[in-house]
Structure 1
């Protein structure tokens, strides 16, 4: 059974009654609930817990970390980001959701600003599947349509994705690379765009299915990391030093 940790800064839920009404147990609670229903062992961690809930023990026992943040990216301690980065390099999967594009951990792993255009206008989003043979879209049709979402628009300042899974179209005319995979060290990273806090996006069964599929895809490969640094030769080097 995979061990999943769902991390959420948990600030909108404390400040905005609309968000509390949509996610009474927090965004993290909603995501953990549908992951548990699909057979995963899912726990949660939040910003205001000691070490942001990401202690050495929690990270060591996490196969895939799901990350949602927005208001408080700057409050995440750099030493915790470094620990999460190292766990990804060692093989832990990372699923970054919506405004997590600006999180310290995502920007650290991407090495770019991860900036984009945005607009809140209650507009329709259509997420087109552009990699229909990918396991992340198993059980998904040609597109997912959301009645209302926040717009994210290109240019999205990220490295070229290893794989592009979704491209979104918005009612106002913009498009966006909404599902992107990366490999970092031994780990896998998936960025998935939808999930603005004032919309019930994470109650949508198709969005849930994508996250469930992504967690399965991102699970660690059972192998040690390569050994780096100065290496002794495997064979005799004739005439060498």
Structure 2
């Protein structure tokens, strides 16, 4: 399934496709309720839970994510699981909420480097990170938190030394229908739009001192 097909397949159920992951949020009123929601999600996923389902439990919400472990993006099984989880939640009087605004997002850190194989081991070691599944033999691949608590760090190839701008920037991956509001809020807060040449894949913004951030979506990448 391509990105458009993945997004279309789950949007009406309150899920969004963000950075290779299907995500939604379930509002709850306590940690105890969050645990019950998590158990219901796991039961709905059945034997596929361990290979596809990730849950983040908080006192006010449960973030539910689906992605086939070891694959670069979800597949048809993940879409089916998203619908099964949604149905199970609805049967319990719970609802997934459309993941616009701040409901779901994923953060990445991009490090610009002339010699990626030389700097990548440092970031992997100092952060206690690991190779992303399936890319252990790629010396230029991103490194990821094995516990999925911290942002992924990826490396952008430079062609010549650069000193006039920052060489580490953030990538904020948001639902495709949340990007416009996020960008507007950033500009209203004093930011500037550096470039929209690659939109809707990403927009480059900067703060008042020129520190850059990319707001990214899945669109424009297939």
TM-score exceeds 0.5? no
**What TM-score bracket applies, with the shorter chain setting the length?**
under 0.3
